[in-house]
Amino acid sequence: MFTTLSTKGEKHRYLAFKSHFNYNLTMPLTFLTGNANKAAQLSQYLELPVDHHKLDLHEIQSLDNAQIAEHKTHQAYHILHTPVLTDDVSLVIHSLGRLPGPFVKFFIDEIGNQGICNLITSDHRSATASVTIGYYDGHDFHTFVGTINGTISSEPRGDGGFGWDAIFIPTGYTQTRAEMNQTDYDATSPRKAALLQLRELLSAQS
């Protein structure tokens, strides 16, 4: 397991952050991921150091990210015995109904981003991307959803970002998220929007 609280300086920053925002956290949050880059992005948006841990969990098959998040956070809490965060992504291409939805990672693994582009056979290329953050502290379960609308490009463009960023053009932009500079990337981040909601809850619980 990698932890972002590995140094005394980082632990001090965590305690200072807690004091500044009056967060009533008895222990650091644990983000369920094996992706260090994603964990760093979460820590940046939340402005709070977090542990991250990869677990092999049973993930239910559902088009509802809230159901997926609730199932995973409860499993993880009973293993780790610490407040946990999950991050579930959905990409809905409107001409394909509710697909690929939360299954987008499997689509990328099997047919790649170009394959997803090729699934759209009409001029109707609109899509909605969302990130659902699940949070469970052993007592209460919460979800926080960030959503952004846009279109799917005809081919992948750009080298930045993660997953489907190379084929998603947010409304009001001409670039895919993978082509954007950091400022525009953050401004169009559904993950950031969801994490800001989480930060409000943690502050309100103090």
Strands 51-53 and 84-93: unpaired
Pairwise CA distance, residues 134 & 67, whole Å: 10
Pairwise CA distance, residues 149 & 159, whole Å: 21
Show the domain range for 151: 2-204
Averaged pLDDT, 24-49: 80
0.75 exceeded by pTM: yes
* Predicted local confidence at residue 27, as pLDDT: 63
Q: Quick: pLDDT tens for 136-180.
A: 999 999 999 999 999 999 999 999 998 999 999 999 999 999 999
Shortest CA distance to 35 belongs to which of 161, 168, 165?
A: 161
Q: Quick: pLDDT tens for 186-206.
A: 999 999 999 999 988 887 765
Using an 8 Å Cβ cutoff, are 176 and 168 in contact? yes
Pair of tokens at residue 92 = 């809905």
What Cα–Cα distance (Å) separates residue 80 from each residue in 54, 61, 142, 150? Answer: 11, 23, 18, 38
What Cα–Cα distance (Å) separates residue 77 from each residue in 95, 119, 131, 135, 136? Answer: 38, 38, 21, 10, 7
* Predicted local confidence at residue 26, as pLDDT: 54
- Distance separating the N- and C-terminal Cα atoms of the chain: 29
Shortest CA distance to 173 belongs to which of 192, 195, 157?
A: 157
> CATH number of the domain that 187 lies in?
3.90.950.10
Using an 8 Å Cβ cutoff, are 17 and 199 in contact? no
How many CB atoms neighbour CB 154 within 10 A? Answer: 12
Q: How many residues does the chain have?
A: 206
The answer to whether residue 88 scores a pLDDT higher than 90 is yes
Tell me how many domains the chain contains.
Answer: 1
Q: Which is more confidently placed, 147 or 39?
A: 147
Block residue for tokens 């940046």: 44
Pairwise CA distance, residues 62 & 165, whole Å: 22
Going through 54-185 in order, the beta strands assigned E by DSSP cover: 84-93, 100-101, 126-136, 141-152, 168-170
